[in-house]
Amino acid sequence: LRAPPPAFLPVAMSSNEQQELATQLYTAQQRLQKQQQQRQMVAARSSSLQKSVSRAQLTMKELETLDENTRCYKQIGRAFLLSTRSGVISSLKDSTQQSEKQLKTMAETAKMLEKQVVDSEKEAEALYQQLQRSS
């Protein structure tokens, strides 16, 4: 019979080493929780932006069916200001383009956060396994 590889040999750990592992595990779990919260916030913000883009596109579509001389109102905060149809369409296009840029940035951020979450999960699992073996 051959001896198992050194990584699988049980190693007696002192209580200080176990405490250090427990501290590292706690830190990894906290980091994982923070990353998951950030990921949820990015997803919620992306969803909100997507709804905003859809609403602006539908509004532009409806405005394009109107006559050029039709009176239009643009919302600014709680107030509505009289504007030209082309002015309202222009501002909707600008806001749509800006929102789409933000959506691209958020998609990249979401990918990065997803990778970090997976890495943190692996790290926490490895620390947990190591702590279990040392007990």
Buried/exposed 85-107: b ≥16 CB within 10 Å, e otherwise: beebbeebeeebeebeeebeebe
Residues 102-132 have pLDDT tens digits of 999 999 999 999 999 999 999 999 988 888 8
Nearest-angstrom CA–CA distance, 18 and 1:
32
d(C-alpha 76, C-alpha 80), whole Å: 6
Tens digit of pLDDT for each residue in 73-97? 998 899 999 999 999 999 999 999 9
